[in-house]
Structure 1
């Protein structure tokens, strides 16, 4: 039956009348309403979605010294990692990630990339050379290690003690910086020099947790990162004419910035308007530099972070402005970009965008904890690291706003709330896409469109036979589905929770509590589900199971509206796989309206329901979900009379 004939058939049923009562037997939703979430807590993670009494996570503190060679395009460095084992077991070894090994001809990531390529293309002439490795526990020293693709197992002669035992791992490393770094890092040639965007640039410790043990998934492409927290001190030695920006606070301004640049930065730190540190017309003015030859070493520190990144170039225009935080503290928004990206329709507004994104999310959800927020123009579509983002040097206007807000939104998910991106992309991409919606609505009173609430634009995907579930492993997902299952669908799920199911007050209370509770920790999906239920005071198993697991859809329907004993009976049904509370807007013949809300529990036993509307007015129209929050997959049955609703 085609779309028109189905509408005609429904209209005929309405005009002919429908038998009164819940006579239509349909399969109920007992399975969705039955206990789905694993509420049973333990000493590590509680049933309320909070860390348990004996919750633990390990700590990784780094000291790194690196040299950027702009002739050979290499990084050469020395790393010292102090590893604290807070787990209840001794450790004979630790695992580390060597993500630069992805850029080799025989890497797993390269060998699993289709011939035609995809977003995650990368060079194949790179990879780490690791030397002088030492792993120390107390007085014992070991150099034993095994490198397998993008992972390295480092062994100890004496185990790291449990419950706070420490080890020190040191090594030298070098690699060639790729041009194409899988849209996450790399090199960009510009008119005035090369822009180096450096991320995944040092060997990083893998996470040991109470759920998976060692999280040792190889770095393939779509799966991102999962890291422990610690303090970082890192020094970058670059050519004298380069500007280096990085995660964390610069420690030696007097050594690397001229007096003019320091004065301008001080002005920017106290200004709500953008202030140039290096103006577009000053790119060739070496008198601004602290030295006129050789190299400069830039020293940065960042505390309680899961990672750091940096960028370096002689081609950077550099500007900055103050970030105002709710507590009264200040941070600094900065942008660096080439002359090709200059202009009011382009990167000249980058710092304005960065400032708003950080301020809005701090006010609405949780205060930004880092001293800087740096936006770097690079040949990267958009990629986030703590306190620093890489965005496309070609982005302009709404596109630049969108990518800037998205990448800095990631400071909340997964930088503050340290989820496992490599396994659960939706817990960072989806959550971030959700908060981006509200940030965009607030920016300049809606200067740019916020479209997350236009959920029905995605119906063609929701009904596609090739769709996949949100819970699909990122590296295994069909890349054509990644945008929906990692970004849009989980974000629309949170939108439904806030705007349709719980309401803003209850949702915000629970969501902010989740962020605060799991800040700088490692929540699992179960922790999020449990925490939202417990703080919001609502059994949401039917929604979490239906929306986040599997490929079921929403389809609520108005079947008939019939006079009965001086009132009206409105017959509705759940034609989809996922039940929903019902919001009906009834319009009367005098153009007044009444909003009727029915709880989700009407669908516990059957998929049909009759509602008695007590009124002495004549009903002229009934419309489900009047604000169109739900991605209902069937437009034709959402209102009565059917012919009055056209989508």
Structure 2
């Protein structure tokens, strides 16, 4: 983000020596002892997590590397996989068992997710009660589970509990870098469109400008959460085994090699880098892909006209196996379809490094106001976030038009087939933004949704404001306007005594509450920190250090709070308590004007730095910045304006940058 300087703030600095504050002794319902009480953060400082918010000298985390061989059966709508997990126990603890996540089991009729949702699956918040497609599967069907330790590989007993598997080890796994390998063979039925985050569906669209074959029909398979994944074992809870009931993830980092065997006519887009292009692409496609690697303009790899041309595939029968590799990632996903149009362009990263922006979409999504601009959006978003916050670390960033719309995975995101114009841009920027939170900075998004959705919404609204001079800005889901004024959604959260606080599990929010709290209030909290509390220079420095320190690691909210305080140079405990741990309201009021004195009161429990502006009868005005310490011991403040000029009016928060609960008392005219 560019560093911006407030001219009004400079004016206040210049005039501050002339402004003599005084405190009134009138009563206020505000209790400063509650707001400014000493704050103990949930996670303690120790050798693993330092007092400055960075990883401690003894910080550790375990590693999970994966080799996956998947076969897609389009007739049975089934995926069969052999999986090898190399698990490294870097902790100081000896582990008698291992816990594995089984996300596909959420589609079983007896899953906790089904019970939670009344027996009907939720698809991005909409109940698909009238969907004629079967709304459940059998989840993972295991053929074998074995442990390889040393030279021996033996099948083991395992216990399945909802979306988790416990593997009890015959010989416990020692710590400090000891490894073992888990061999799993399984298959599962792929959910239909109702599956939401992983699905298959049929698209029927028209090829733009085509007359011979105007309609193209084909299936799109969005393959996410498709393999058993290791639970995280960390220094905060040991095994974190929260069941998957529909919201978010917490995963270990590692290296991935995965192979997807699909029908010959399919294009596969997957997380990471395609290792064997000569085996799965034509010579023309390889040439175009090489051209895209050095082009800032979008290069079409496979056109809409070629979708119906068998010559666009290197063979015309049987299957092809696509091999992908990805390092330093917590997950991989892929999508396959015979009707994908494919284009790409170079991504320019800091220090001269490069990546590749790509999009795949059906012919019906072609259009200059639609998916033909997707790669342009991906490229701009990755370049901006890489420059502003942290360099993008992976070889490709891919946008897929499919049926698992509005979902993110490392290196690949799924968006909607009919998305166009600003909607496509907003969703693309938001989903790609998740590459930073929580894909690079690997917070526990199941437990702390704001570190995922709130942080990401904060950075993606800036992308909307700056792309091509703000052609798609402002992005309204940030819940504040271009001037920074909070809208009704956040104020309704603060006014609602039953609204959950930000520090909450992702699954604990209802659909109506999740966006206002974790997305919007979470993002607005970051805006307040940057623009009103710390200022851009201090905030950007601190937030970049937080990202750098916790890249590919597992921070908690306490780590974030400590790092922003330590590097931002400010005790922010009042803000963490009021905005994140409670839904306290801010209500500043101008109570009266007497001569050259203005009385301001804080009527809510939340405090924030605020600006008070006085207009004089001669047409001039002056501003004063009130720090939070204004309310450290009292709820009423008297500003001795001085200067001898008659006051015409006074207003607090004149620019409407604060979430003031009652603006009717913000301004007063002199009597």
Task: Tell me which interval the TM-score lies in, with the shorter structure as reference length.
Answer: over 0.9
Deviation of 1:117 after TM superposition, in Å, equals 6.0
Where does residue 521 of structure 2 map in the other structure?
A: 489
C-alpha displacement of 1:642: 9.6
Secondary structure of 1:632's counterpart equals coil
Select the residue among 141, 148, 163 that pairs with 2:161: 148
Q: Does 1:556 align with 2:581?
A: no
Partner of 1:284: 308
Distance 1:271-1:589 versus aligned 2 partners, 3 A rule: farther
Return the alpha-carbon distance in structure 2 between the equivalents of residues 437 and 55 of structure 1. 33
Task: Report the 3-state secondary structure (helix = DSSP H, G, I; strand = E; otherwise coil) of the residue aligned with 1:218.
Answer: coil
Match of residue 547 from structure 1: 579
- The CA deviation at 1:485 is 1.4
Deviation at 1:546, TM superposition (A): 0.5
Q: Find the counterpart in structure 1 of residue 659 from structure 2.
A: 631
Aligned to 1:3: none
Q: 1:515 aligned to 2:547?
A: yes
- 2:509 is matched with which residue? 477
Cα distance, 1:456 vs structure 2: 2.9
| C-alpha separation in 2, matches of 1:112 and 1:21 | 53
> 18, 21, 26: which is aligned to 2:24?
21
Of the three residues 41, 45, 64, the one matched with 2:45 is 41
Question: Which is worse superposed, 589-598 or 78-87?
Answer: 589-598
> How far is 1:132 from its partner?
2.1
Number of positions where the alignment pairs a residue of Structure 1 with one of Structure 2: 620
Q: Is the 8 A contact 2:370 2:424 kept in 1?
A: yes
Deviation at 1:417, TM superposition (A): 0.3
- Other-structure match for 1:331: 355
The structure 2 residue matched to 1:434, chosen from 436, 458, 470, is 458
Q: Which residue of 2 is the match for residue 605 of structure 1?
A: 633
TM-score, normalised by the number of residues in structure 1: 0.93
User: 1:181 and 1:365 mapped to 2: Cα distance?
Assistant: 36
**Among candidates 124, 127, 140, match of residue 128 of structure 1:** 140
* Contact kept in structure 1, 2:610 and 2:626, CA below 8 Å: yes
Task: For 1:522 and 1:96, locate their aligned partners in 2 and report how far apart those are by CA, in whole Å.
Answer: 18
* CA displacement at 1:472 relative to structure 2: 2.8
Deviation at 1:465, TM superposition (A): 4.1
Secondary structure in 2 matching 1:489: helix
**Residue in structure 2 matching 1:351, options 372, 375, 388:** 375
User: Does the residue aligned with 1:283 lie in a helix, a strand or coil?
Assistant: helix
Structure 1 residue 278: Cα displacement: 0.9
Give the match for residue 574 of structure 1.
Answer: 602
CA distance in 1, matches of 2:358, 2:51: 42
Q: Give the Cα–Cα distance (whole angstroms) in 2 for the partners of residues 447 and 228 of structure 1.
A: 38
Instruction: Say which SS state the counterpart of residue 439 (structure 1) adopts.
Output: helix
- Partners of 1:126 and 1:177 within 8 A in 2: no
Q: Is the 8 A contact 1:456 1:630 kept in 2?
A: no
Q: In the alignment, which residue of structure 1 is the partner of 2:647?
A: 619
User: Does residue 85 of structure 1 match 2:89?
Assistant: yes
Structure 2: how far apart are the matches of 1:322 and 1:181?
Answer: 35
Please state if 1:530 is matched with 2:562: yes
Once the two structures are overlaid, the 10-residue window that deviates more, 397-406 or 587-596, is 587-596
User: Which residues of structure 1 form unaligned runs of 5+?
Assistant: 1-18
Equivalent residue, structure 2, for 1:11 = none
Range with greater deviation from structure 2 (188-197 or 530-539) = 188-197
- Note the aligned Cα RMSD (angstroms): 1.8
The structural deviation recorded for 1:317 is: 0.7
Match of 1:114 in 2: 118
Counterpart residue number, 2:132:
none
Q: Which runs of 5+ in 2 are unaligned?
A: 1-21, 129-134, 205-216
Q: Tell me, in whole angstroms, the C-alpha distance in 2 between the residues paired with 1:337 and 1:40.
A: 47
- For 2:282 and 2:254, the matched residues in 1 are separated by 31
- Is 1:456 aligned with 2:487? yes
State the alpha-carbon separation in 2 of the partners of residues 434 and 54 from structure 1: 32
Which stretch shifts more, 577-586 or 388-397? 577-586
SS of 2:540 mapped into structure 1: helix
Mapping for residues 266-415 of structure 1, pairs under 5 Å: 266-415=290-439
